[in-house]
Amino acid sequence: MTGGHDAPVGIADRLRILPQHLLPQHFLSRQLHAIMRWRCRPWKEAVIRWFIRHYDVEMDCALHADPSAYEHFNAFFTRPLRPDARRWSDTSGVIGCPVDGRVSRIGQLTGESMIQAKGRDYSLHDLLGGDRELVSELADGCYCTLYLSPRDYHRIHMPLDGRLRRMIYLPGRLYAVNPVTARVVTDLFAANERVVNVFSTEAGTMAVIMVGAIFVGSMETVWAGRITPPYGARAVVRDYADKPIELRRGEEMGRFNMGSTVILIFGPGRAHWSSALADGTPVRLGFDLGSVISDGADGAGIRADR
């Protein structure tokens, strides 16, 4: 990406981020979580219509195009799409994009190191909460960081068929995840609250990581329901290895009640990203992100410019 994440950090950027260090992030997120569920008809319809205009939301893709059809703002924000609004490839081994959004970073891990922004790396170990077994499976693999803007569809779908192995809730801060914050805040994605979902797939281990952010720290999955809020003080690991939770490619796996970032990671030599992708590329749900590397095939994820 030539701008955004890669622009040099200046004093103006640091001053813009300063309030985030001082704000009561979780308190404000809890309040907004409640406000966005108010059912007062004049209020919620006014907010929804303003939001559509301000962010240029594509309502023609929504299952319910009428803003008055939603019981509250959060129902609108997590609105379902029409069944024909997104297309998934019929080709075997294609990795489908799990969200609508934009590629923030895409490339290959160097050992446990991942790129957050130009000149600012962070650790897979920290991102995964120190899970050594999972780190060893994914180190030197490939990753794709996907940013969801306010106008985007905010449900998350399966990139491949998968069997859930475990889910890890990791408490943390709730910084914004915009390009300026990514340039300024050290270890942003490993510092923020997140949910790590680990699946067994035809490409081996796949991690789908949901990263919370200020005002958007409410996350849920289809198997566990709402995870946050309330916000925990310690990590929680739920083991699903012996439970038959299997999801097909394209099935909904979770959602942001408000939005943030999804990080998709595969182990070394198991997936190859499409050459059409680069940092900053806009993507849509079902878009071909890449393909599974068959056993014995040669290949690796593309490398991001450092």
pLDDT single digits (tens) 126-171:
999 999 999 999 999 999 999 998 899 999 999 999 999 999 999 9
Q: Is residue 48 part of a domain?
A: no
Structural domain contains residue 39: no
- In whole angstroms, give the CA distance from residue 116 to residue 122: 6
pLDDT for res 232: 74
| Cα angle for residues 64, 263, 24 (degrees, 5° grid) | 80
What range defines the domain where residue 181 resides? Answer: 94-292
Alpha-carbon span 172 to 179, nearest angstrom: 19
pLDDT, residue 99, reads 96
- Pair 263, 67: CB distance under 8 Å: no
What is the pTM for the complete model shown? 0.85
* pLDDT band per the 50, 70, 90 thresholds, residue 14: low
φ, ψ for residue 127, nearest 5 deg = -60, -40
How confident is the model at residue 217, as a pLDDT? Answer: 61
The predicted structure's pLDDT at residue 9 = 55
Query: For the segment 23-55, what is each residue's pLDDT rounded down to a tens digit?
Result: 655 566 666 667 677 788 899 999 999 999 999
Pairing of strands 194-201, 162-170: antiparallel
- Confidence class for position 4, pLDDT limits 50, 70, 90: very low
| Number of structural domains the chain divides into | 1
Cβ-proximal residues to 76 (8 Å cutoff; 6+ apart), any chain = 48, 51, 67, 70
Given this model, what pLDDT does residue 37 score? Answer: 76
Q: Does a structural domain hold residue 268? A: yes
- Please compute the mean of the pLDDT values over residues 8-20 and round it to a whole number: 58
The reply to whether 152 falls in a domain is yes
- When the pLDDT of each residue in the chain is averaged and rounded to a whole number, the result is 85
Asked whether residue 3 is assigned to any structural domain, the reply reads no
Q: Region 266-293: what's the mean pLDDT? A: 95
Name the token pair of 163. Answer: 């069997």
CB 268 within 8 A of CB 139: yes
Residue 37 covered by a domain: no
CA distance 289 to 109: 17
Q: Is 226 a member of any domain? A: yes
Q: Which residues are catalytic?
A: 100, 157, 260
Tell me how far apart the alpha carbons of residues 273 and 103 are, in angstroms, rounded to a whole number.
12
The CA distance from 234 to 208, in Å, is: 20
Q: Residue 109 CB: number of other CB atoms within 10 A?
A: 23
Residue with token string 């919620």: 44
